[in-house]
Amino acid sequence: MSNLNLDLDARVAELRNAGFGCSQVVMTIGLERLKADAELISALVGSMEGYCGGACGGTCGALCGGAGLMGFYLGKGTPDEPRSAALKGLVKTLTQEFSDKWGASTCDGIIHGEEAKHKAICPKLMADTVKRVWDILEANNIKLDERSAGQGV
């Protein structure tokens, strides 16, 4: 296992122990990589709580967090920024790869409400989702250490 994976695993555990849900963990790690300021991290991570635990139609919170993180990198954030021509396709790629790896894209489909599965699978799933977001973005020439809203890949 690479140092990146060890660092991701440790950070996931730390954030989970602090009471954050899957979507919040994924978003926090992504924003930390971008060196976002604490106030922005707090606001965006707080907004992700509504996606925790499959609350958004059952979709896994980590997947929602990954899509949100992609949107943070590429999404239109002001009236003057263009829409990203690539964002929707990249999120579809993430969703397909996520479903292929974990067998579903919903919490129920992955852990079936079983607490033992939740504890065993979800931390790995969160770290993997962050890594997949970064891999997909890098493969599409997105710089991971800066926000590039509207970038048309």
CA distance linking residue 129 with residue 125, whole number of Å:
6
Answer whether residue 149 is part of any domain.
Answer: no
Answer whether residue 148 is part of any domain.
Answer: no
Answer whether residue 145 is part of any domain.
Answer: no
Answer whether residue 73 is part of any domain.
Answer: yes
pLDDT in tens, 92-114: 999 999 999 999 999 999 998 88
Model confidence, pTM? 0.89
CA distance linking residue 53 with residue 79, whole number of Å:
32
In the prediction, which pLDDT does 23 show? 95
Coil vs helix vs strand at 28: helix
Question: What domain range includes position 38?
Answer: 3-139
pLDDT in tens, 4-60: 555 899 999 999 999 999 999 999 999 999 888 899 999 999 999 988 877 777 899
pLDDT in tens, 51-97: 887 777 789 999 999 999 999 999 988 899 889 999 999 999 999 99
Whether residue 149 contacts residue 76, with contact meaning beta carbons closer than 8 Å, is answered with yes
Answer whether residue 106 is part of any domain.
Answer: yes
Nearest-10 Cα torsion for 123, 124, 129, 130: 70
Whether residue 98 contacts residue 60, with contact meaning beta carbons closer than 8 Å, is answered with yes
CA distance linking residue 123 with residue 110, whole number of Å:
13
In the prediction, which pLDDT does 115 show? 87
Query: Quick one: which of 49, 48, 45, 59 has its CA closest to 91?
Result: 59
Distance, C-alpha 15 to centroid of its chain: 14
- On the question of pLDDT at 134 being above 90, the answer is yes
In the prediction, which pLDDT does 1 show? 35
Answer whether residue 56 is part of any domain.
Answer: yes
Answer whether residue 41 is part of any domain.
Answer: yes
Answer whether residue 94 is part of any domain.
Answer: yes
Q: How many domains does the chain have?
A: 1
